[in-house]
Structure 1
Amino acid sequence: MPALHPDVLAVLRAAREAGSRPFETQTPAEARAAHLQRARVLQSPGPWLPEVRDLVARSGEGPPVPLRLYRGGAAPESGLSPCLLFLHGGGWVLGGLETHDSLCRQLAHHLGACVLAVDYRLAPEHPYPAALEDGLAALRWLAAEAGALGIDRTRIAVGGDSAGGNLAAVLALMARDGDAPAVAFQMLLYPAVDLAMTGESYERFRDGLPLTAATMRWFIDHYLPPPLDRTDWRASPARAASLRGAAPALVLTCGHDPLCSEGQLYAARLEREEVRVTALHLADQMHAVLSMDRVIAPVGEVISFAAGILKRAW
């Protein structure tokens, strides 16, 4: 097993000393409060940006979807900026605009462009497909309102971390099939892409980390309770019949993460099916590392790298 970065070891030691409880031993409400508190401890406030404002995507087909727009850098000469539609992680049960505010600010800063964060509905109160429906509604609203927002509709990307990476990957396939507005790129940060939990890394990471096989089982049981089909590609994009024709991708994986093997296999399959993909593997890091920039030194450079890949794709 690869060695852990010293900063990660320090985070794990501090969590043990503080008596941090695994999410799966808590109620969803307790876990959400703990997750938000961890975010406040582990993340920096993020950089100042020229514009940060809350919006709402409204349609006649579903509930309003809260959004937050981040605009980084000066407006381009064309007057229109590219935009990353970002879907947060948290196992479809935790997280929201506040837990990922810092990461979205950093991405917008490094991109010198817009990031639109989606506050989708959470399980178990709103199980699958509610989160996906909200992500799709946000993407459709962004494409429709792009001009009014100063955004270039032809340079919209989708992205997210963990559960958000799952939603982004599904939206990218829907866009390929014409069931969602076109996207130019997909940024998949330690994504969950096969909810059948068959990856070999689930066997390696059963304890000692914030995210374990048991934690993922707890998340998935809330998101897709029986008898919902976990092999449907709209829940498990790795189960899609084909990935060919999807938008170019960045797939980031971490060595100490039960999602590691499925993310690596997804990146390999994208490449095999002739989708341009950049695969970045952080062997000494753990899941959700990009939300720990206050305490894990390399995080800022990784976020900058991810933004650089997207900027070049745009």
Structure 2
Amino acid sequence: MGRKYSKELLDKITEKQEVINYKGIDLLVKNIPEDSNAGDMDQRLYNDSKKQMKIMSFMPKKMMEFDSSKKSIEKLRKMFNEIKSRPIVNNKIIINNDKFKSFDGTYINLRIYKREDYKENSQILYYIHGGGFFGGSLDVVEELIKVIVDNTNIIAVSVDYRLAPENKYPTGHKDCFCGLEWVYNNCLKLGGNKDNIFVCGDSAGGNLAHYCSLKDRELNKGMVKGQLLLYPTLNMAKFEDDLFKWSIDEYEISPKYKKGIETMLYMFDNLSLGLSDILGVDADKDNHYLNPYSGDVKGLPKTFITVGEHDYLKVESLAYAVKLNREGIYTKTILYKGLGHAYGDNIGYYPQSEDCAIEIGKFILENSK
């Protein structure tokens, strides 16, 4: 099918990128490839969002408050499960299915990706999809994974963990860690290297990936070489300190897009407040699995964090990157200007999505043994 943008825009992103100092860390800023004003939305994202933003701008705030009813969950699932990508890979990607037995005896499905010419003893990317812990699917992130595999010739495994609210916390988290153990124990079968396993997840999947790193550290198993957190959920309790206090003032928004972006941020704020209801647990600051931001980061693996300029999770993502760096954890942090949440889902439509896949692959290859 191919890209809906010229490949030259990928080069433009690299040409225009810059490293800035953000609270003492090096922050790699990826600017919109075409010329734009400070605080602008990327035009591709704007074109995809303007109808929804216009409708929402006329809605009373009361109507945007989170409702955890079955009807509302199904409506949100339909939105989160929408496929927003298109194939762009050059090599043939072989996809196989497998399953593992989780902590309670339930079998959980896995999807395994390799290039047709894959090399033995490769790095393994263990991928956990997002979707607010209650939505998303393997299909939503498939093109992102295929691009990473195509670029790097590594092996990727995507896990189909159980979703809330039907499966309360910590079911999905435990599923993901059991899947990681399966990957580690089956490296030879997969053709991978057990010393080079990287966990990765987007949004809520970033929280689940981080849980895998935390449990790996607690149990001293040494399975995780590095973690990649894409616009991750890290501070559900909104724990505040010298680095984090959410405020609209943390966002640079040009006047043209102010109303639409602020409306979207308000919507995500409401959704974040309802995640505890969905999971069936109080996400207080002492639960460091749901709120890794408030926990101890010592001993965590090398980390990759990326987030969009207008993402509700930007403030906590960047604050966590600073926290990790302060503790001596090598962390590569990338901010995409003009984007909001979940741009990894837009492979083939947004050049930044492909650029992000390239950066993920580079991080894995550069930080392998």
TM-score greater than 0.5 by the shorter chain: yes
Match of 2:79 in 1: 34
Is the contact between residue 65 and residue 270 of structure 2 (CA under 8 Å) also seen in structure 1?
no
- Count of residue pairs brought into register by the alignment: 307
1:236–1:19 distance in 2 versus 1, CA, 3 Å = closer
Q: Identify which of structures 1 and 2 has the higher relative contact order when contacts are C-alpha pairs closer than 8 Å and 6+ apart.
A: 2
Question: Aligned partners of 2:344, 2:247: CA distance in 1, in Å?
Answer: 21
Secondary structure of 2:334's counterpart equals strand
Question: Aligned partners of 1:18, 1:214: CA distance in 2, in Å?
Answer: 17
Match of 1:5 in 2: 42
Q: Deviations over 1:224-275 (max 9, x none)?
A: 444x6453111111121x2122110111121111111111011111111111
Match of 1:156 in 2: 197
The one-letter code sitting in structure 2 at the alignment partner of 1:238 is Y
1:65 to 108, 112, 120: 108
Shift of 1:176: 2.2
Secondary structure of 1:261's counterpart equals helix
- Considering only aligned residues, what root-mean-square deviation do their CA atoms show, in Å? 2.6
User: Is 1:122 the counterpart of 2:176 in the alignment?
Assistant: no
Gaps in structure 2 of 5+ consecutive residues: 1-37, 58-62, 250-260
The one-letter code sitting in structure 1 at the alignment partner of 2:291 is S
Q: Kindly report which structure 2 residues correspond to 1:1-314, keeping only aligned pairs within 5 A, or say none.
A: 2-16=39-53, 24=66, 27-37=72-82, 39=83, 42-47=84-89, 49-59=92-102, 61-72=104-115, 74-76=117-119, 79-178=120-219, 180-198=221-239, 200-201=245-246, 203=248, 207-208=263-264, 212-226=268-282, 229=284, 231-240=286-295, 242-314=296-368
**Identity of paired residues, percent?**
22
Gaps in structure 1 of 5+ consecutive residues: none
Question: Aligned partners of 1:98, 1:210: CA distance in 2, in Å?
Answer: 28
The one-letter code sitting in structure 2 at the alignment partner of 1:130 is T
Match of 2:17 in 1: none
Shift of 1:89: 0.6
Match of 2:9 in 1: none
Question: Aligned partners of 1:22, 1:213: CA distance in 2, in Å?
Answer: 10
The one-letter code sitting in structure 1 at the alignment partner of 2:191 is G
Shift of 1:58: 1.8
Is the contact between residue 103 and residue 175 of structure 2 (CA under 8 Å) also seen in structure 1?
no
Is the contact between residue 190 and residue 254 of structure 1 (CA under 8 Å) also seen in structure 2?
yes
Shift of 1:46: 5.0
Question: Aligned partners of 1:211, 1:295: CA distance in 2, in Å?
Answer: 24
Question: Aligned partners of 1:85, 1:31: CA distance in 2, in Å?
Answer: 26
Question: TM-score normalised to the size of structure 1?
Answer: 0.88
Secondary structure of 1:27's counterpart equals helix
Is the contact between residue 193 and residue 262 of structure 1 (CA under 8 Å) also seen in structure 2?
yes
Question: Aligned partners of 1:59, 1:18: CA distance in 2, in Å?
Answer: 42
Question: Aligned partners of 2:186, 2:92: CA distance in 1, in Å?
Answer: 21
Shift of 1:13: 1.3
Is the contact between residue 73 and residue 113 of structure 1 (CA under 8 Å) also seen in structure 2?
no
Match of 2:252 in 1: none
The more displaced of 302-311 and 200-209 is 200-209
Question: Aligned partners of 1:24, 1:5: CA distance in 2, in Å?
Answer: 27
Question: Aligned partners of 1:213, 1:59: CA distance in 2, in Å?
Answer: 32
The one-letter code sitting in structure 2 at the alignment partner of 1:312 is E
